[in-house]
């Protein structure tokens, strides 16, 4: 077995999944906020929020890759086989929904700027 990353009795790699979930939610929430603030004409930083959304999506997916790497390193093949299908499906949903939400935001705000 590989070495564990433990600090204060808590396994830090266990936080990868929580961090991935939080960042995934941020990736969805920011473009929704952009779309809800469209009517107020005061959302001048919509582009920055879209960039942060895509970045949060990328970091969320990266944390899942790091967690899978950890499972390979400790040779926990059962955990990999049990979770890989769900991780792949969640990746597809997160990536496509983030891209679609930000594309809609781009189209909406682009029409306002023209």
**Position 105 confidence tier, pLDDT thresholds 50, 70, 90:** very high
* Angstrom distance (rounded) from CA 4 to CA 65: 17
Backbone angles phi, psi at 10, to 5 degrees: -115, 130
Q: What is the pTM of this model?
A: 0.84
For residues 104 and 33, the answer to whether their CB atoms sit within 8 Å is: no
Q: Which two tokens stand for residue 14?
A: 């266990």
Give residue-wise pLDDT tens across range 34-90: 999 887 766 778 899 999 999 999 999 999 999 999 999 999 999 999 999 999 999
Domain boundaries, the chain: 20-113
Phi-psi region of 3 (alpha: psi -120 to 50; beta: other; left: phi over 0): beta
């Amino acid at each position: 077995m590989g070495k564990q990353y433990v600090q204060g009795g808590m396994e830090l790699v266990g936080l990868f999944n929580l961090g991935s979930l939080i960042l995934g939610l941020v990736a969805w929430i920011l473009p929704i906020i952009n779309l809800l603030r469209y009517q107020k004409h005061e959302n001048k930083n919509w582009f920055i929020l879209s960039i942060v959304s895509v970045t949060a999506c990328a970091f969320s997916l990266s944390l899942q890759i790091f967690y899978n790497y950890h499972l390979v390193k400790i040779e926990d093949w059962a955990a990999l086989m049990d979770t890989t299908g769900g991780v792949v499906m969640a990746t597809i949903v997160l990536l496509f929904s983030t891209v679609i939400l930000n594309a809609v935001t781009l189209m909406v705000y682009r029409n306002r700027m023209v």
